[in-house]
Amino acid sequence: MSQKSYDGVASLYLIPTPIGNLDDITIRAVKTLEMVDVLLCEDTRETLKLLQHFSLNKRLVSCHEFNESKVKDFVISLLSEGKNIGLVTDQGSPIISDPGFVIVREVILNGGHVISLPGATAFVPALSNSGLSPLPFLFYGFLSAKDSKMKSELELLKRLPYTLIFYESCHRIKRTLSNLLDVFGDRNISISREISKLHEEIYRDKISNLISFCDTMKGEMVLVVEGFKEKTSYHDLSIVDHVCLYCDDYPLKEAIKIVAKERNLPKSFVYQEYHRNK
């Protein structure tokens, strides 16, 4: 069923807020904040700071992942009364690795209007400045906090030929990079830290080179990881050339091990052939 967004009917507005620099807010977002009757927010304290910065005064209602199911009926009631409602999260676009989905789904199921404003989100600038192929890409968000489940998720993703984008915190970054290295191999990666904030930094390197000092990284991060690339078929390659295919990403000993497995040959034979003909 189609639905016009702007027909004068009371609506739920999804309003992106700055992820760092407050100047990143759009003029339209400020005007929408002024217009709505009620503002649903992930953390009323954080939203109050934003409103004060722009000299706005609004009725705030707490709406986060733990109470969305309770708030949804209140939202439907307000819309039926002709009230416009805004929904913001602490930073970035609502629903994108943030609360809001339960509310939006409920409004849609009840025939209400949902209008999503374009605006700040972290993964777009991280992808743009990564130096990695921008298309196609897959935004995954946060990987599981449980180590075994994280590895299972990565196993499902490792052969996708898409640039992969993850969100991560400084508390988990070393474990996540270690799991990426174990499952994906030593791919190119970009880590954007504290995007649009004073201490914004971007690291571009192989995964293995960033693990050694990632403990020093602070703040929120976006990981942009190179997609899977098929290796050249080894059938027309010599053993030396086959081993050399992997030498950029792996130590020689590991490259020989991989070649031996792919050719179904003893490691000792591959080792001898490599050194005899190198």
Indicate whether 134 belongs to any domain.
yes
Q: Does one domain contain both 142 and 82?
A: no
**CATH code: domain of residue 129:** 3.30.950.10
Is the residue at 6 inside a domain?
Answer: no
Asked if residue 112 and residue 17 are part of one domain, the reply reads yes
In-domain check, residue 269? yes
Domain count, the chain: 3
Domain around 175: 123-225
* DSSP classification of residue 24: G
CB atoms inside a 10 Å sphere around CB 143: 22
Residue pLDDT, tens place only, 52-67? 999 999 999 999 988 8
The tens digit of pLDDT for each residue in 106-138 reads 999 999 999 999 998 999 999 999 999 999 999
**What does the alpha-carbon distance between residue 119 and residue 96 come to, in Å, rounded to a whole number?**
12
Last residue in a domain, options 186, 206, 225? 225
What span, in angstroms and rounded, lies between the C-alpha atoms of 140 and 207? 18
Domain finish residue from 181, 196, 225:
225
Name all contacts of 59-64 with Cβ < 8 Å and 24+ positions apart. 63/87, 63/99, 63/100, 63/103, 64/99
Report yes or no on 4 lying in a domain: no
User: pTM for this one?
Assistant: 0.78
